[in-house]
Amino acid sequence: MQAVQREIAEQLKVQPPFKDQTDLEAEVARRVAFIQQCLLNSGLKTLVLGISGGVDSLTAGLLAQRAVRELRASSGDQGYRFIAVRLPYDVQFDEHDAQASVDFIEPDERHTVNIGPAVKSLANEVAAFEGHQAVTRDFVLGNTKARMRMVAQYTIAGAAHGLVIGTDHAAEAVMGFFTKFGDGACDLAPLSGLVKNQVRAVARHFGAPEPLVEKIPTADLEDLSPGKPDEASHGVTYAEIDAFLHGQPVREEAFKIICNTYNKTHHKRVMPFAP
């Protein structure tokens, strides 16, 4: 079992557990520097990120804001900026958490794009939905919401001459728990390789409010199951996924679920298949 866990962890470039506070701070500094280098390499000065109210976007936003603040200070160029984007589907049930996240990050700019009208308009034009059950339509449109959010972010990034940040990390990557060409599409993924408890640790390091750090993770894409916890979709807990990725013992059923899901979602983690 450990050999399989080790192989998957290597594939996903999983970072080892933080040994202490010094180790955590060094990792934060490395990821901030990574964001800065991405901007410098691109010749652009703006970062764009959708803030959902969950700890992943909160943490990525905190890293991004620190990155641009440090670039402004070191270069004297005030053109560097971070744009936080709210992307509700009409009215989001946990909007207060999303706003609390944005408030804590204190981004240079705040934008809001309601994706509801666009998603509904598209759904009304899709004849392929005819004859399908409501639950099927709801699930498909959940992925459409994620893709529409990415379209909005890239539209803003295009207008602002910037890069789009993704929030994918190792615990989601191993489960393929992202929408292909939706939240899985981005220019840089500063949380890559971290497991869920490490993402929380980074947020806590920034002093983020504990209710946001420990908030139950949810993609919140399905109208028929609003706020459905990620773990209910996974069939395993994030604690088990984190343990698996760090080579620690997990129950046999959890091992099977994670491995099977990892194999089934392989296509999400690679470039499009080609002959």
Active-site residue numbers? 56, 172
What is the rounded CA–CA span in Å between residue 194 and residue 32?
14
Sheet with 109-112, edge to edge strand ranges: 109-112, 81-86, 46-50, 162-164
Q: Are 212 and 101 in contact (CB under 8 A)?
A: yes
Which of 235, 233, 208, 239 minimizes the C-alpha distance to 219?
Answer: 233
Structure tokens at 216: 């139950």
Q: In the block, which residue shows the tokens 């139950």? A: 216
What is the rounded CA–CA span in Å between residue 234 and residue 207?
29
* Other C-beta atoms lying within 10 Å of the C-beta of residue 16: 13
Q: Are 141 and 115 in contact (CB under 8 A)?
A: no
